[in-house]
Structure 1
Amino acid sequence: MAECARISVTELCVRKGTTDLIKDLSLAVRPGEILGLIGPNGAGKSTLLSCIAGIESSTSGHISIDGKALGALKVSERARTIAWLEQSGSMHWPLSVERIVMLGRLPHLTTWGQPVQSDTYAVENALRQTDCVMLRKRRFPSLSGGEQSRVLLARALATQASLLLADEPVASLDLKHQLQTMQVLRAYAHGNNSVVVVLHDLSLAARFCDRLLLMNEGRAVALGETRHVLNKENIATVYGVSVVIGNEPVPWIVAREML
Structure 2
Amino acid sequence: MTRTRPLLAVERLGVELGHRLIVDAVEFSVRAGEFVGLLGPNGAGKSTVMKAAAGLLPVRSGQVRILGADAAGLTARRRAQLLAMVPQSTDLDFSFSVGDIVAMGRHPHVGRFRAETAQDHRIVREALAEVGMDDFAGREIGSLSGGERQLVFLAKAIAQQPQVLLLDEPTSALDIRHQFATLSLVGELARRGHAVLAALHDLDLAARHCDRLLVMHRGRLVADGTPGEVVTPELLAQVYGVRADVTHSPLTERPSVTTLGLLDLDDSHPERTSR
Please report the TM-score for the alignment, with normalisation by the length of structure 1.
Answer: 0.95
User: Counterparts of 1:247 and 1:93 in 2: how far apart (Å)?
Assistant: 46
Match of 1:103 in 2: 104
Q: Does 1:46 align with 2:47?
A: yes
Specify the SS of the correspondent of 1:120: helix
Q: Any conservation in 2 of the 1:242–1:256 contact (CA below 8 Å)?
A: yes
**Could you say what secondary structure the match of 2:181 adopts?**
helix
The CA deviation at 1:247 is 2.8
Paired residue secondary structure (1:114): coil
Q: Deviations over 1:29-88 (max 9, x none)?
A: 111101111000000000001111011111111111111000111221111111111001
Please name the residue that 1:6 is paired with.
7
Cα distance change of structure 1 residues 240 and 216 upon mapping to structure 2, 3 Å threshold: same
How many corresponding residue pairs? 258
Q: Aligned partners of 1:234, 1:151: CA distance in 2, in Å?
A: 35
Residue 236 of structure 1, CA deviation: 1.1
| Letter of the 2:235 counterpart | N
Look up the match of 2:258.
Answer: 254
Check conservation: 2:4, 2:31, Cα contact below 8 A.
no
Q: Quick one: distance in 1 between partners of 2:65 and 2:102? A: 28
Q: Over residues 128-178 of structure 1, what are the superposed CA-to-partner deviations in whole Å (9 max), with x where a residue is unaligned? A: 111111211111111111111111111111111001111000000111111
Contact 1:36/1:198, CA 8 A, preserved across alignment: yes
SS in 2 for 1:164: strand
Q: Which moved more, 1:29-38 or 1:101-110?
A: 101-110
**For residues 91-126 of structure 1, what are the alpha-carbon distances to aligned partners after superposition, in whole Å with 9 as ceiling and x for unaligned?**
232221111111111111155442223212211111
Of stretches 7-16 and 230-239 in structure 1, the one that deviates more from structure 2 is 7-16
CA distance in 2: counterparts of 1:204 and 1:239, whole angstroms: 17
Contact 1:93 1:140 survives alignment (8 Å): no
For the pair 1:214 / 2:215, whether they are aligned, the reply is yes
For residue 72 of structure 2, what is the amino acid of its counterpart? G
The whole-number CA distance in structure 1 between the counterparts of 2:95 and 2:242 is 44
Question: What is the root-mean-square deviation of aligned Cα atoms in Å?
Answer: 1.6
AA at the equivalent of 1:88: S
The 5 Å alignment of 1:1-150 reads: 4-150=5-151
Counterpart Cα distance in 2 of 1:229 and 1:218: 18
Deviation at 1:16, TM superposition (A): 2.4
Question: 1:229 matched to which residue of 2?
Answer: 230
Percentage identity across paired residues of the two chains: 37
Name whichever of 23-32 and 115-124 sits farther off.
115-124
Structure 2, unaligned runs of 5 or more: 264-275
Which stretches in structure 1 are left out of the alignment for 5+ residues?
none
2:246 is paired with a residue whose SS is strand
On the 8 A contact 1:92/1:140 being kept in 2, the answer is: no
Per mean C-alpha deviation after superposition, the further-off stretch among 145-154 and 199-208 is 145-154
Q: Is the 8 A contact 1:49 1:165 kept in 2?
A: yes
Question: For 1:6, what is the secondary structure of its paired residue?
Answer: strand
The whole-number CA distance in structure 2 between the counterparts of 1:99 and 1:14 is 34
Match of 1:184 in 2: 185
TM-score by length of 2: 0.90
Read off the aligned partner of 1:234 and give its amino acid letter.
L
Structure 2 Cα separation of the partners of residues 10 and 73 of structure 1: 17
Residues in 1 aligned to 2:229 and 2:216: alpha-carbon distance in whole angstroms = 14
